[in-house]
Structure 1
Amino acid sequence: MKINKSLIRQSHFLGTKVRNLRKRNNLTMEDLSARCVRVDPESAPSVSYLSMIERGKRVPSLNMLEVIAAVFQKEPEWFLDDEPGNEDLSPVKNATQGGVSGMPLEPSFLFSNDILQIAIPELLSQAGVSGRQFAQLLIRAYQEHHQNHFPDLERAAEEIGGKRMPLSVEELLAIAAQQGLKVHWFRRPPQGAIDELGVYSKNIVTSYLEPPGHLYLNENLNAFPTRLKYELAVHIGHCVLHSRDGFQIVKAVGGGHAATFDKKGHLQATAPDINAQKILTAWRSFEASFFAGALLCPKTAYRQLLDRSGYEIDVHKQAGVSASVAMRRMTAVSPYSHWHYFDAYAPGRLKAVYRGNGIPLPWGNMRAVDDACPQWAVFRKIDQPGDSSTAQISLLQVQEEWRLYCCESIRVADMAGNHHVLCAGVDLIPALAAQGMDAGAIVDDLKNACLKAGGVTGISRAIRSDLSRIGRILNINWIERGAEQPAQLICTKGSACPRTPHCNCQKDKITM
């Protein structure tokens, strides 16, 4: 390739464009340097050299410029034109850019603390929502509002673990001992239980912590080392963050929530009442769980591993953690913030939810409905045999606006023997807009093609090329794989199905 323009004369605009592209894609200089190394180790710029390029202090060689251009899927000539490029972009939290949307609390006198303290318990009682469920909803909204960024928990975990990855069971046992935990072992098999929504599953109590420092681990954990490591990390987190404050913590695996079981494995009744102690306990459980993920997958080391692997799900094997921990951590460490994550148990039970990109729920765990959309990837995967992951491009109407998502789903079995589906996905519209593409036109073209074809259609070559380009820029391999598969129209309920004819034929009730 021959470039006639002078690199030296265009160095100021060149640096500005590199900086703007890097910030639009939420990449640090370390991230960009690492991405360049993957393209061409010999011509890749170091972090310090990138800094000088962006400040106009150095001019990259032609080979180095080609490497930077390849990362952002641009032609080298684009960096050398006479336009300085757009201003730096900062991510905006709203319904279209990511995060959950809210409602104005007006008139304000009706939303005073005194009135809410009176009204909320009555509302929960009439709706049949337990205090535990309400606490989890509050925590999830807080987590989604902050798009899974909790730097204080990250720092606490990294200080304890020394940013090592992977950590072995032996290393975690040693850390637990340093925190004053004395380990005991017990034996208890899985047992069937029907939860408050009438959903049956096998459940097994895996561990529990009794004050002041006695940690009891189920012997069955020895056959599931990644789960054993997670359990140890959670209890270490409780010790570090809350100094073994006297609360008994019970961990369980299965379709039900651990908080609904006592240490002997008996299902506990969940009262609709709500109190500050329940919410505090639920919050501390969340903090310990987030700490566990950060301890097992330190942010920088794990982000670099994801970068090398293109966010493939099987990266969990290299990190020495379960697929669930690996996928949840993706949403926290990725430079791209518009993620969602579901952990679904049949028949349609969501046990874990994260919606940093504001995607509506395909179903939930508060009530029963009989018209859930069967085309969500996480829904379709539940009844598919095998343990291979699959990618899907989906279109969904959200508040009169069509959104475009891509996700990767995998069917796994938990320690109690229940099959469930893990799904991690991204909203593609912010990524398309960040690259100057007409996201609205792309979504309209794909939506119209899907509607014309009855709700599912192959993706055109032009759109497939755009999506593949975004996949390479975000460095998420399964976006390109999803673009090779038919796109699916999905909806929040079967009654709102945009397909002709409607695809919702499921009559049995599932939980929502």
Structure 2
Amino acid sequence: MPPTTEHKSGIELKTLGHRIRHHRVLRGLTLDELGALVGVAGSQLSLIENGKREPKLSLLQALADALGTHVTDLISGEPPNRRAALEIELERVQSSQVFRQLAIPPIKVTKGLSDETIESIIGLHRELQRRENEASATPEEARRANTELRLRQRAADNYLPEIEELAERQLRAAGHTGGALKHRTVSVMAEQLGFELIYVNDLPSSTRSITDIENGRIYLPPASIPGGHGLRSMALQAMAHRLLGHERPTDYADFLQQRLEINYFAACCLVPQTAAVAFLDRARKDRNLAVEDLRDAFGVTHEAAGMRMTNLLTKHFGMPLHFLRVGGQGQVERVYENDGLPLPEDVTGAVEGQIVCRKFSARNAFEQQNRTTEHYQYTDTPAGTFWCATQTGARSSGEFSITVGVPFDDAKWWRGRETPARAVSTCPDESCCRRPQSVTESPWRGKAWPSARVHTHIFSPLPRGAFPGVDDLEVYEFLDRHTEH
């Protein structure tokens, strides 16, 4: 490890040494001449000027007197000139872990080394550090990070008490007393943080919102776009970064953790814990729990209401459950479970992207004629029987379903428990729904040749950058445009 240039006293020794040298040169003194004035050897002063030794306060005072300045001037944290600042910065970057890993000898600073050369070297180091800090990962690393995060949340019953409490404090401070969270209240919450919500038409396509920290602005999509819940949620997520003290993500796992935390904060604000638990308690006592009722009571989406149940039902009512968002092809897009529901996994343990059993209500709900109401179903699995409520929907990229379910014994608390619909799933046994039965396969064996649709996202590299997928140039150009007005 290289020696540190900051002593326990808090004095930055390298800067101190440069300031002493600066004043010595101004006075036209050599090291030995200054040493004679203060009673120490020139070699000792050389160690001090090179930031390798901290002088006693008495010696500092003597040096200040001999140099015609004050101790406070010598111990100032500001380099005395541009050259000193460059030399200090060069030593810092050459002491970094990133540079030491390269096993390249550091460049020794001499009088013949020009300022421009030092600047160029520092620039290379900064780019090296920037690339090292980019939250880039292979798809496998990203899936592993996502799986680890899901398992941590499952161990915590998907409940983050600190964020729950933070959200309720912010809501009280903004004057929210109950009911659906108003846009105006969200604006007040932003104002209390020193931010103004601004709705614009030209957000970069790679972003959902942009926070201008310098000028106290949060830029969001146009206020006229459909779905008030989405705009409130985006504003709350942007605020959450500030409230939670997030720094730039250091890797993909850090990025995922931050995204989970801001989503959690937004959900806590839109469906506050105290009011939601009281609402769910009444519904449970009436044996009338329903995702759609929580959704309507707080003015959020069906998905947001279902996910909020995963935060609260286990913690406050001891009820394990599962949540699934499944695409039209049967692929898992979002998942949470702490009730033992058997789900498909890849070799990394990841569930996202895997195909769920055809027998699950998350898939066969697409076959229902009436899509406007929830579809209820009991499903017998190798892990037991589960009751599920599924609602389908559509978006530009295709159909999807939202499912919330519980083990059989807890179905008694839910609306729809009387359903006669029942299915049997033996997955992961492939004979359940993946392997064709011989009576179906035999007539066509060797006589069919399908042309597969290649999913291009399989070959797409994982987005790079501290904020994966965000085009930094577009963001900075956007901020330039809006700062000019």
Report the TM-score, using the length of structure 1 for normalisation: 0.51
- Match of residue 355 from structure 1: 337
Give the one of 238, 243, 252 matched to 1:240: 243
Give the one of 393, 398, 401 matched to 1:421: 401
- Match of residue 379 from structure 1: 363
SS of residue matched to 2:373: coil
- Match of residue 153 from structure 1: 163
- Match of residue 405 from structure 1: 386
Contact 1:405–1:425, Cα closer than 8 Å, also in 2 = yes
Distance 1:331 1:133 in 2: 22
Distance 1:175 1:427 in 2: 39
- Match of residue 393 from structure 1: 378
SS of residue matched to 1:318: helix
Q: How does 1:216-231 map to 2 (within 5 A)?
A: 216-219=219-222, 222-231=225-234
Specify whether residues 210 and 227 from structure 1 end up closer, same or farther in structure 2 by C-alpha distance, changes over 3 A only.
same
Distance 1:157 1:151 in 2: 10
SS of residue matched to 2:311: helix
Distance 1:287 1:246 in 2: 14
Contact 2:199–2:223, Cα closer than 8 Å, also in 1 = no
What amino acid maps onto 1:422 in structure 2? Answer: I
SS of residue matched to 1:235: helix
- Match of residue 450 from structure 1: none
Contact 1:497–1:504, Cα closer than 8 Å, also in 2 = no
Contact 1:372–1:493, Cα closer than 8 Å, also in 2 = no
- Match of residue 250 from structure 1: none
Matched residue pairs, number?
294
Residue 279 of structure 1, CA deviation = 1.1
Give the one of 287, 296, 309 matched to 1:317: 296
Distance 2:226 2:149 in 1: 32
Select between 306-315 and 350-359 the one with higher mean Cα deviation.
306-315
What amino acid maps onto 1:131 in structure 2? Answer: E
Query: More strand by proportion, 1 or 2?
Result: 1
SS of residue matched to 1:405: strand
Q: How does 1:149-298 map to 2 (within 5 A)?
A: 149-162=159-172, 164-187=178-201, 206-212=208-214, 213-219=216-222, 222-242=225-245, 245=247, 277-298=251-272
Specify whether residues 368 and 206 from structure 1 end up closer, same or farther in structure 2 by C-alpha distance, changes over 3 A only.
closer
- Match of residue 111 from structure 2: none
Contact 2:388–2:403, Cα closer than 8 Å, also in 1 = yes
Distance 2:234 2:280 in 1: 23
Contact 2:203–2:209, Cα closer than 8 Å, also in 1 = no
List per-residue Cα deviations over 1:61-95 (Å, max 9, x = no partner): xxxxxxxxxxxxxxxxxxxxxxxxxxxxxxxxxxx
Residue 391 of structure 1, CA deviation = 0.8
User: Which consecutive unaligned segments of at least 5 residues does structure 1 have?
Assistant: 1-126, 192-203, 248-275, 432-469
Contact 1:187–1:220, Cα closer than 8 Å, also in 2 = no
Residue 187 of structure 1, CA deviation = 2.6
Would you say 1:131 and 2:123 are equivalent positions?
A: no
Residue 489 of structure 1, CA deviation = 0.7
Contact 1:413–1:420, Cα closer than 8 Å, also in 2 = yes
Contact 2:199–2:222, Cα closer than 8 Å, also in 1 = yes
Distance 1:510 1:360 in 2: 28
User: Which consecutive unaligned segments of at least 5 residues does structure 2 have?
Assistant: 1-136, 442-449, 459-485
Would you say 1:330 and 2:332 are equivalent positions?
A: no
Contact 1:406–1:427, Cα closer than 8 Å, also in 2 = yes
What amino acid maps onto 1:216 in structure 2? Answer: Y
Higher relative contact order (CA 8 A, sep 6+): 1
What amino acid maps onto 2:405 in structure 1? Answer: G
- Match of residue 414 from structure 2: 476
Would you say 1:492 and 2:427 are equivalent positions?
A: yes
**RMSD after superposition:** 3.7
What amino acid maps onto 2:382 in structure 1? Answer: Q
Specify whether residues 422 and 368 from structure 1 end up closer, same or farther in structure 2 by C-alpha distance, changes over 3 A only.
closer
SS of residue matched to 1:314: helix
Distance 2:328 2:435 in 1: 27
Distance 1:352 1:505 in 2: 33
Residue 504 of structure 1, CA deviation = 12
Would you say 1:304 and 2:278 are equivalent positions?
A: yes
Rg: which structure is higher? 2
Residue 205 of structure 1, CA deviation = 5.1
Contact 1:185–1:216, Cα closer than 8 Å, also in 2 = yes
Distance 1:130 1:211 in 2: 34
List per-residue Cα deviations over 1:321-352 (Å, max 9, x = no partner): 11111111112212133110011122223221
What amino acid maps onto 1:219 in structure 2? Answer: P
Distance 2:282 2:213 in 1: 42
What amino acid maps onto 1:379 in structure 2? Answer: R
List per-residue Cα deviations over 1:426-483 (Å, max 9, x = no partner): 1235x5xxxxxxxxxxxxxxxxxxxxxxxxxxxxxxxxxxxxxx61xxx3223x23xx
SS of residue matched to 2:423: strand
Specify whether residues 488 and 179 from structure 1 end up closer, same or farther in structure 2 by C-alpha distance, changes over 3 A only.
same
Specify whether residues 346 and 499 from structure 1 end up closer, same or farther in structure 2 by C-alpha distance, changes over 3 A only.
closer
Distance 2:224 2:404 in 1: 26
Residue 314 of structure 1, CA deviation = 2.0
Residue 367 of structure 1, CA deviation = 8.6
Specify whether residues 214 and 279 from structure 1 end up closer, same or farther in structure 2 by C-alpha distance, changes over 3 A only.
farther
Contact 1:368–1:509, Cα closer than 8 Å, also in 2 = no
Distance 1:207 1:505 in 2: 51
Distance 1:381 1:292 in 2: 29
Residue 372 of structure 1, CA deviation = 5.2
Specify whether residues 500 and 235 from structure 1 end up closer, same or farther in structure 2 by C-alpha distance, changes over 3 A only.
closer
Distance 1:505 1:153 in 2: 53
Distance 1:138 1:222 in 2: 35
What amino acid maps onto 1:392 in structure 2? Answer: Q
- Match of residue 480 from structure 2: none
Contact 1:396–1:489, Cα closer than 8 Å, also in 2 = yes
Distance 2:345 2:365 in 1: 15
Residue 305 of structure 1, CA deviation = 1.9
